[in-house]
Amino acid sequence: MTASFPKAQVVVYPGSNCDRDALWALRYVGFDAEFVDIRSHIGSDVNLLVLPGGFSYGDYLRVGAVAAREPISSEIRDFMSRGGLIIGICNGFQILIEMGILPGALLQNSTGKFICKIVELEVVDNETPFTRYFERGEKIHLPIAHGFGRYVKTNGLVNSQDNVIFRYAQDVNGADELIAGISNENKNVLGLMPHPERAIEKLIGSDDGLRVFLSAFNYIKTSSENMLQKTKVGVA
C-alpha cells in the first residue's frame, strides 16, 4: 500500500467565484484537488471539502440560502458525520450557516457596504485540524472581501467559547465579539469570512493563509499514517 496525497474537492455552486483560487491554493500545498459540480457526487476517498467564496445564485434571495438547499447538501452532511474536514470560506461559510451545520447568522456589514482589505486576525484556537500550524493568540493577516460578513450569535446556538477559531483584531464589520471564524463542536468543520486561499504567497500580499491548508494537509497525513500504523500492528 502506497501513501497517497490527501484528496480535496472544491464544491462549485452556480455563482461561486473563488473556486479556482481555492483549487490553486489546495494544489499549491500538495493536495490532490479537483472541482465537484453540485449535480455530481463527493468522492468516497475525499479528505477535505472546500465550499468556496462567491455569490451563489447571485445571493439574490439571502446569502447562501439557495445553495444550502441543493441536493448535494445531504452528501455534505454525510461527509461531515463521517468526520471529513470541511472549510467554508466567505460564501461557503454563509452556505454552511444556512445549512445549519454551523450556528449563528451572517448579516450585512455594519458599514452597509462591501469591504475588501487585508485585516489582522487573532488565532483563538490552535487545536483544530485547520489551525495546528498557528500559535494560540498569534496575530495573522488575511484578506476579507464581503458585504454580508457580520457574524451574529443566535439564541443559545453558540453555547461556548470553544467554537470561535478566529477573531478580528479590530472591528471591521460589526461582528459579535469580533468573530471571524468558527467551527462545529467536533471541530471538523471550519467556517470563516476571511480568505485563506488568497493569502498563500507573499507576492500577492500575505502567506498566512497557507498554514490553514498546511494544517489540514498535515492533519490528514498524520491521521492516515496512524491508521496505517494501527493496521500494521493489527496484522503483526
Partner 1 sequence: MKYIDILERKLGRKVTKAEIEAFTVMWSEHCGYSHTKGYIRQLPRVGFGGNAGIVPLDDYHFIAFKVESHNHPSAIEPFNGAATGVGGIIRDILAMGARPTAILDSLHMDKVTEGIIDGISDYGNSIGVPTVGGELRISDYYKYNPLVNVMAVGVGRNEHLIPSTAQKPGQVIVIFGGATGRDGIHGASFASEDLTGEKATKLSIQVGDPFAEKMLIEAFLEMVEEGLVEGAQDLGAGGVLSATSELVAKANLGAIVHLDRMPLREPDMNPVEILISESQERMAVVTSVEKANRVIEIARRYLLFADIVVEVTETGRYVAKYNDGTVIDVPAKLLEESPEERTYGYRPVEMPKFNWIKFKNVDAHGVFERYDYMVGTDTVVRPGYGPAVIRVKSSSGYSLVIHSRADLGLQEPYWAAYITLLECVRKTLSVGARPLAITDGINYADPDVQPEGLAAQMKGLKDACEFANVPVASGNASLYNTYKGNGIPPTLVIGMIGKLENLNVPRPRKSAIYAIGFKDFKLERERLLWNEIERIAKAGYFIVSMHDFSTMSTLKQELQKIGLDMKVKSPKCEPVHQLIMVFGDVDTKLPKELIGYCN
Partner 2 sequence: MQKYRFVVDVQYKSNVRDPRGEMIKRVLNDEYDIPVTSLRLGKSIHLEIEAENEGDAMKLVSKACEKLLVNTVTETYEVRRI
Instruction: Point out which residues bind partner 1 (CB under 8 A).
Output: 14-15, 17-18, 20-21, 24-25, 53-55, 57-60, 113-118, 143, 145, 147, 195, 197-198, 200-201, 203-205
- End-to-end, the C-alpha distance of the chain in Å comes to 16
Return the residue matching grid coordinates 467536533.
Answer: 186
Among 125, 143, 120, 134, which Cα is nearest to 215's?
134
> Is the distance from CB of 92 to CB of 53 less than 8 angstroms?
yes
Reply yes or no on whether 185 is catalytic: no
Element (H, E) at 97: helix 91-99
* Residue 57 makes contact with partner 2 by CB under 8 A: yes
Measuring CA to CA, how many Å separate 150 from each of 29, 77, 154, 192, 206?
A: 30, 25, 12, 11, 23
CB of 75 to partner 2, least distance (A): 16
CB of 57 to partner 2, least distance (A): 6
Site for partner 2, residues 67 to 96, rule: CB under 8 A: 69
Q: How many residues bind partner 2 (CB under 8 A)?
A: 6
CB of 60 to partner 2, least distance (A): 4
Binding site for partner 2 (CB under 8 A): 57-58, 60-61, 66, 69
Residues classed as catalytic: 90, 195, 197
